[in-house]
Amino acid sequence: MTRDFFHGYAMNAVDAKNRLSVPAAYRDVIERRTQTRTVVLAPHPRGLPCLVGYDIGRTARLQDQIDAKYGADYGEDRENEARALFGLSEDVNYDENGRFILSADLRDWAELEKHVFFIATGDYFEVWNPQILLKERGQDPLIARLVKRQLDAKGAA
C-alpha cells in the first residue's frame, strides 16, 4: 500500500469574505487519505509563526506519539503538549473548490494577510504569511527565490 504525502507549494489569496483555498494537490492527498473534505489547521508545534495543516487521520498518529512519549504519565508536560496539539487546532471543512473560511484565530496566529504561502513538508504542510516566511526562512536562497517569484506572479511584491 502506498502512503500519500504532501508535495510542492502554492500561493493563494484570502478573499474579501476571509475565504482561502487549500491547494488542489493537497486536497487530493487529504481526500485519498480520509475520504473527507476536512483539513486540520493549528499553530506550528515548535512555535514557528505559521500554521500547520494535515488530514484528520494524522490526529491519531499525534496521539500515538504522545502516548509513546509519556505512557501513563498524565502530568503537566503531557497536558501542555496535548493542549497545544489538540486544543488549538481547528477542523476545517472545505467546499468542492477547496475554499474555507479562515477564522480570526488562525489568521492572527500566523499573521496571515492578503496572500498565503503553502509549502509541503511530507506528512503535513505549513501555511505562511510570505513576508514572515522570508524573514524566518529567507536565509535559504531557494526558498527566498521561490517566495519572491510567487509574490511577483501575484503582483504582491
d(CA 145, CA 41): 26
pLDDT tens digits, residue range 74-112? 999 999 999 989 999 999 999 999 999 999 999 999 999
d(CA 149, CA 145): 6
How would residue 1 be classed by pLDDT, with cut points 50, 70 and 90? very low
d(CA 138, CA 109): 20
Q: SS3 string of 122-134?
A: ECCEEEECHHHHH
Q: CA Rg, the chain, in Å?
A: 16
- Regarding pTM above 0.75, the answer is yes
Q: For the chain, list the domains and their CATH numbers.
A: 9-153 (3.40.1550.20)
pLDDT tens digits, residue range 42-59? 999 999 999 999 999 999
Kindly report the CA angle at 110 between 13 and 54, in degrees rounded to 5?
Answer: 80
Place of cell 487530493: 28
d(CA 150, CA 33): 28
CB 51 within 8 A of CB 97: no
